[in-house]
Structure 1
Amino acid sequence: MIEFDDAGVTVGDVTLLAPVSVTAQRGEALIVRGRNGTGKSTLLRVLAGVRKPSRGTVRIGGAGVNDRDRGFRRRVAVMIGLPPMAPDLTVLDHVLLVAATWMDDSAQAANLARDVLTELGLDALGERFPHELSSGQTQLFGLALVLARPFEVLILDEPEQRLDTEHVESVIRVLRARRDNGATLVVATHSPLLADGLADRTLRLDASA
């Protein structure tokens, strides 16, 4: 499903991502480890199609990446930083909007939105506004916005941020369910708990990860 073939990123004399070759199959979770500055987020941005590699190739499902293509965007869901949030929409409004954008059946979209909030323990917070959430709740809310849509590939940058151990374990369960349903996951993380609980394979961008 995912192929990096000697793909790297340089800007002038600065290497943002040393050349990488790695694959991930459908229904696998690839965990990306490494110190800050070793290229984890850059690798995810290349995979998401928002940064072009300076060398090598990257393919998803046998095709090149292109974030301007609707078919690519339908196949690939991305969370690199928190998604945009509207201050005058509730948590449930946001998640419903995302689900309805990608699904033709309004009842199915509503069910998906509510199911995702329940999975992440946010169902009681549906009528709150984003500014009323704690930092950990905001992190889970951002993840809900990414999960409330169809995808074949899920790209996440440090989804464990701002979360305590109990909530990291909850996120692991939610992501395992997507992987077990056939999605390919690429997750950059500093969390040994998340890495050990989810990884089918691990890419280490430095020897001390």
Structure 2
Amino acid sequence: MIEVIEAGVVAGDVTLLAPVSVTTRRGEALVVRGRNGSGKSTLLRVLAGVRKPSSGTVRIGGELVVERDRGFRRRVATMIGLPPMAPDLTVLDHAVLVATTWLDDPQGAANLARDVLAELGLGALTERFPHELSSGQTQLFGLALVLARPFEVLILDEPEQRLDPEHVESVVRALHARRSKGATLVVATHSSVLADALADQTLRLDAVA
């Protein structure tokens, strides 16, 4: 599903991502580890199509990554930082908006939105506004917005941020559920709990740099 061949990123004289190669099959989970500054987020941005590699090639589903291509955007969902949130929309409004954007069935979209929020423990917070959430709830809300749409590949940058151990386990269960349905996962994380629970293979960028 994912093929990275000697992909690297350089900005001026600074190497943001040393050339790296990795491949994954459909339904696998790739965990990316490394110290801060080793290139984890840069690699995820390359996979998401928001940063072009300075060298090498990246393909997802056999196709070169083109972020503006609707087929690519339908295939790949990402959370690299929190997604945009409107202050005058409730938690449920946001999730329904995302789901409706990608699904032709309004009732199915509403059901998906509610199901995802409940899955991540946000079912009682549907009528709150984003500014009324705690930092951990906001992190889960951001993940819910990514999961409230179809995808074949899911790219997440440190989804465990600001979460206590109980909620990290909720994230693990949610990601296992997507992988069991055939989704390919790429997760950059500092959490050994998340890495041990998910990884089919691990890419350590410390060793590449």
TM-score range, shorter chain: over 0.9
**Alpha-carbon distance in structure 1 between the residues aligned to 2:93 and 2:173:** 25
Distance 2:39 2:49 in 1: 15
- Give me the identity figure in percent: 83
> What secondary structure does 1:27 align onto?
coil
Partner of 1:87: 87
Q: Which runs of 5+ in 2 are unaligned?
A: none
Residues 36-115 of structure 1 aligned to structure 2 (within 5 Å): 36-115=36-115
Q: What secondary structure does 1:95 align onto? A: helix
Residues 20-68 of structure 1: per-residue CA shift (max 9 Å, x gap)? 0001110000000000000000000000000000110000000000110
| Partners of 1:8 and 1:180 in 2: CA distance | 31
Cα distance in 1, alignment partners of residues 148 and 182 from structure 2: 16
Ranges of 4+ aligned residues in structure 1 off by more than 3 Å: none
- Give the residue type in structure 1 aligned to 2:93: D
TM-score of the pair, normalised by structure 2: 0.98
Cα distance in 2 for residues equivalent to 1:146 and 1:207? 30
1:124-146 alpha-carbon deviations (Å, 9 max, x no partner): 00000000000000000000000
Consecutive unaligned residues in structure 1, runs of 5 or more: none
Task: Work out the CA distance in 1 between the residues paired with 2:195 and 2:65.
Answer: 26
1:1-209 maps to which residues of 2 (within 5 A)? Answer: 1-207=1-207
Q: Deviation of residue 207 (structure 1)?
A: 3.9
Q: CA RMSD in A?
A: 0.9
Counterpart Cα distance in 1 of 2:6 and 2:97: 38
CA distance in 2, matches of 1:66, 1:123: 35
Q: How many correspondences in the alignment?
A: 208
Deviations 1:3-33 (A, max 9, x none): 0001100112110000000011100000000
TM-score (norm 1): 0.98
Q: Which residue identity does 2:85 align to in structure 1? A: M
- The structural deviation recorded for 1:86 is 0.2
Whole-Å separation in 2 of the counterparts to 1:189 and 1:195: 7
CA–CA distance in 2 between the matches of 1:197 and 1:131? Answer: 31
